[in-house]
Structure 1
């Protein structure tokens, strides 16, 4: 796990070596174990790399970027390829000669043997890489199937700049650092348009995609294609009443165990994140069973009982013989580190869970661990979120008699009140674009799209005028592949949308890679192994949600590993206590607001409307406001703080100068 960066100058002028080094230095947190850069002569192409050594710890042998022995290919890779030893052995038997023991190098030899399209079918894991082919004069930017690893790119006057983080691009002096109007708006409503960022002209490589940049007659032609997608069966292809439950239960267990075993591969110790949920408990249980040594488990504890899961985590740790490390957070911790967290997330966050995970990765690092397995992805595969249960009831249970539908309705009204206004909309919101695209507006995007009426007035008037006719729902819906929605069960359609929006844009970003790698800590989400995922997609909807049990097939597959209380427990979404739940937290919010949301700060940034911001705070402090609206206001205020802090970090700050300063401090020089 590392950080990558690079430049492709369209007219062939060589990149400045120190610029490449500076781009690596500003993401030193991703790779503190060393750096490297390579410039291919007469191509205008240069890559750099900040290394976190996990596989092949030899500093010289494993140093990237890699150049093929014939000098034709240049590779920089971030992430992990599993099952690489088997692939390496097969390639060696066919005549390949490896320069290192690194998993990364298999890409060069696979590409030489098979070409890119077939190479991608062999790659298993979480990854983002850049590959330049001098013969084709073509650069490929490739991202893993779910978007676990980040990769951004932009076009300057002289060529393309890319990197693992936005600040890496901004370290290049030619890259423009400016909010787009639409990007600003989406920061305030939480959900983003897939493939975009908050910044003008800066894009993400979408999950499961290859961005191809080919030079033709001194110009760079940029295209993108999808090599893998979330492909549920047609609704008509699911088995009927003859379905064999045990077959699916056994299949989920088999594939998950295999995914965990692969992710225990490392030349350094591997731990596990452990909440009180089924997902992380299952990962710990399987890891403990597959490992010859005790597993170290890391748990976040909150000072609010309604949000704290440490009692169940302690029970699971004891049952597996894990060494248990609990980080207990109080009201002062979360907002004290909010500003530092935004430097790493590079986008706004609606809940301070991102801060909690930022602090946890710090503690993991301090006790000498670089790798942990996590439970992210389980809810996406097995329909664990409250929004999925709601959509199943509203759109997927038409065959039920009225008495059973009423029982479902009572269950929905009773449960998950804690998340109304955040993970569930306060009131039903309809997006005509989503309705036209997939037949209904998924509950998972409703809480964010419904914030539009509140968010728009908060934007500065000069920017707001360009957004009066903007339809966020339409912009998002247009990115979804209609062929992956047509003929699918309503639950499958809902899960597809979540995976394409909130999984990649939230859970794997500010809840995953960005706060994990802030302290050089690699997270490995075993549930997002694509072999497991492709099996899970085939599990019939009524085995994902059965009666009042979400993730039914996973529960049954893991029943022998889970504490009884957890096996029977309903889904509890992992969140940090919002600001309205604690006067001390609210005072910490006000302290940040005095600095970042003052009249002077807002005027300087030119992003927000000061008077409208003041009205949001006044409404939050009103005793007449219902709790579910306060939850929504908490999220909105976090976004307001976030955009102002982003302005400070990435626009007001001279990022190229900061990158040079970091390189000087590290002694990293060309």
Structure 2
């Protein structure tokens, strides 16, 4: 696992030394993602520079060094991730006459691009990756991201220069990157706790969407950000909605026993591919279904006890550590658990803005950071159970949304319209239950609207961010699957396409990479996902209305029933308790009305009113307040880092050519 950064100038006036210095500084901002090695490549004539930080996983020798050039010299790549089927591709390419100096997947990826072209080569890759590839022959920059969005890639304009990188902190290192806050993106943060792709908290800056390719040349850069439309210019080589529709149209035709056999086979292959590494590999184990499945399969495929890691919380009623310990003992893993106090968890909070350099408000980021730090002491790669909920009907909110949809259909249309009109009058009170919440449901056009009402934080974030408009996401579609499949399929598609990459996978990527740990998610293997989409709902939901029915059948092959039939506990943090306790002084300072008015991002009276109501115990507004606080803490960190980096780089590059 690594980090990449770079820039492309439409009219370059920097010599080799200064272009490399600029790229190197951007790359150094990502040192935590790749502490083992770093490299820079630049072509002043073309105005392109690539930087790379390496966390050595495959081919630990210098032959895996990046940026790496193809054998024919046409392509240069900076690449973050793993191509799990690289051995298979390598055999194919050997048969076509290609030779290899080492055994890194980077070298295989370059040979694949030389043989089949960029788009066809990426389509053959099974993996998690973010790629920056320069085509010297055509003077084109390609950016690519894996199908589900495991690995991040940001890009945007710094003056007239395109800058890109694995994290925003790399873009901040460019002296001309002073892009302010995008108010529309801030409204999205309040609504979802994160900023969905392709949007970004900064103006004139975007995320590359999962499964997308972007091709740019100097002429495209020269036209500037005003001419760029991510919806038009980002081309999908793989689209989850299209693949789900295809799977629904060609459903699995076996019985549930055959489905169980096939899922076990696919998961064994997916886990096996992700155990390949030249460094120690472990697994996060919570004791829940998803992580227990991954751990069970790892242990079945391993000749020695696998390393398992669990965080426990002192005094918590939702502590999963005892469940994980039971599973570990039954499977015979080498188990490591660490019980942390509230003070240990709170010590992470000040570090969150540096870890998540785009504001991010999923409070489970705190325990995730703790378990990643624990694992890094013993392994360099850790497998996770991410994806099981979105593929196998794992969330209780799916059941609640289906129930609400059924109730909605029983209310006459004129009454629904009247009630929906009253919801706006109640503002955020419609998020807190009672009549206002019921009225808000009545405006739903379909399952998409019903489900969105279940997951949003702020129902009307535009009221809190003056001047903001809400950009559209998949959650804004009345029918995310255009009426294909079931309502449950539509909800799982929306979560797979938005919540999974921009919340869950973002959280794990930043928390793991902050300590130089690579996280892999076998349940998100493309073959597993497309197989899950081909299954009838009752294979996942079960006749009794339970969740992850088929996945639990597979788990019963490895664990006794008592360890399988346990309720979902989640992986959260007691935010309400924190804000009323040890974090109160910190929160009050960040939410001070005078401070909010001076910054000008929020309606100070509205936000402060929610804070006072929360402190007085009138409403449980902690989730609304937490995403405001995460923005406030991020904003403070960003300006400090940006000012420091800008001053340093202006001094470092203020020679011949200038900036």
Q: Hey, what's the Cα distance between the residues in 1 that align with 2:156 and 2:625?
A: 30
Structure 1 segment 332-481 matched on structure 2, within 5 A: 332-365=343-376, 367-394=377-404, 427=437, 435=445, 439-441=446-448, 444-449=451-456, 451-453=458-460, 455-459=461-465, 464=466, 466-467=467-468, 470=469, 472=470, 475-477=472-474
Do the aligned residues in 1 keep the contact of 2:83 with 2:127 (CA within 8 Å)? Answer: yes
How many residues matched?
A: 617
Give the match for residue 508 of structure 1.
505
Structure 2 residue 152 is matched with structure 1 residue 150:
yes
Displacement of 1:444 in angstroms is 4.6
Counterpart of 1:113 (choices 109, 115, 124) is 115
Give the match for residue 484 of structure 2.
487
Displacement of 1:72 in angstroms is 1.6
Instruction: Assess, with a 3 A threshold, how the Cα gap between structure 1 residues 424 and 518 changes in structure 2: closer, same or farther.
Output: farther
Counterpart of 1:224 (choices 225, 230, 234) is 234
Displacement of 1:428 in angstroms is 5.1
Do the aligned residues in 2 keep the contact of 1:442 with 1:497 (CA within 8 Å)? Answer: no
Taking structure 2 as the reference length, the TM-score comes to 0.87
Structure 1 segment 220-619 matched on structure 2, within 5 A: 223-230=233-240, 231-233=243-245, 237=249, 244-365=255-376, 367-394=377-404, 427=437, 435=445, 439-441=446-448, 444-449=451-456, 451-453=458-460, 455-459=461-465, 464=466, 466-467=467-468, 470=469, 472=470, 475-477=472-474, 484-510=481-507, 512-546=508-542, 547-580=544-577, 586-599=580-593, 601-619=595-613
Deviations 1:465-511 (A, max 9, x none): x23xx3x3x6124987989534232111111111122111110112x
Structure 2 residue 195 is matched with structure 1 residue 192:
yes
Do the aligned residues in 2 keep the contact of 1:36 with 1:65 (CA within 8 Å)? Answer: yes
Give the match for residue 634 of structure 2.
646
Q: Hey, what's the Cα distance between the residues in 1 that align with 2:438 and 2:135?
A: 51
Deviations 1:308-328 (A, max 9, x none): 111110000101111211122
Instruction: Assess, with a 3 A threshold, how the Cα gap between structure 1 residues 356 and 449 changes in structure 2: closer, same or farther.
Output: closer
Do the aligned residues in 1 keep the contact of 2:449 with 2:476 (CA within 8 Å)? Answer: no
Displacement of 1:192 in angstroms is 3.4
Q: Hey, what's the Cα distance between the residues in 2 that align with 1:425 and 1:101?
A: 63
Instruction: Assess, with a 3 A threshold, how the Cα gap between structure 1 residues 116 and 234 changes in structure 2: closer, same or farther.
Output: closer
RMSD across aligned positions (CA): 3.1
Give the match for residue 80 of structure 2.
78
Displacement of 1:158 in angstroms is 2.5
Q: Hey, what's the Cα distance between the residues in 2 that align with 1:429 and 1:337?
A: 39
Do the aligned residues in 1 keep the contact of 2:441 with 2:450 (CA within 8 Å)? Answer: no
Q: Hey, what's the Cα distance between the residues in 2 that align with 1:521 and 1:422?
A: 39
Structure 2 residue 48 is matched with structure 1 residue 45:
yes
Instruction: Assess, with a 3 A threshold, how the Cα gap between structure 1 residues 659 and 298 changes in structure 2: closer, same or farther.
Output: farther
Displacement of 1:642 in angstroms is 0.8
Give the match for residue 406 of structure 1.
none
Displacement of 1:17 in angstroms is 1.1
Do the aligned residues in 2 keep the contact of 1:592 with 1:641 (CA within 8 Å)? Answer: no
Unaligned runs of 5+ in 2: 410-429, 653-659
Displacement of 1:182 in angstroms is 0.8
Displacement of 1:609 in angstroms is 3.7
Give the match for residue 4 of structure 1.
4
Secondary structure of the corresponding residue to residue 309 of structure 2:
strand
Give the match for residue 416 of structure 2.
none
Secondary structure of the corresponding residue to residue 203 of structure 2:
coil
Do the aligned residues in 1 keep the contact of 2:447 with 2:491 (CA within 8 Å)? Answer: no
Secondary structure of the corresponding residue to residue 128 of structure 1:
strand
Secondary structure of the corresponding residue to residue 178 of structure 2:
coil
Displacement of 1:264 in angstroms is 0.4
After superposing the two structures, state which structure 1 stretch, 117-126 or 141-150, moved more: 117-126
Deviations 1:61-85 (A, max 9, x none): 2110011233221101101111212
Displacement of 1:565 in angstroms is 2.6
Counterpart of 2:100 (choices 98, 101, 109) is 98
Instruction: Assess, with a 3 A threshold, how the Cα gap between structure 1 residues 551 and 317 changes in structure 2: closer, same or farther.
Output: same
Counterpart of 1:205 (choices 201, 205, 208) is 208
Taking structure 1 as the reference length, the TM-score comes to 0.85
Unaligned runs of 5+ in 1: 400-419, 665-670
Displacement of 1:423 in angstroms is 14
Q: Hey, what's the Cα distance between the residues in 1 that align with 2:184 and 2:513?
A: 28
Do the aligned residues in 2 keep the contact of 1:425 with 1:446 (CA within 8 Å)? Answer: no
Secondary structure of the corresponding residue to residue 475 of structure 1:
coil
Q: Hey, what's the Cα distance between the residues in 2 that align with 1:118 and 1:197?
A: 28
Do the aligned residues in 2 keep the contact of 1:10 with 1:158 (CA within 8 Å)? Answer: yes
Counterpart of 2:29 (choices 26, 29, 35) is 26
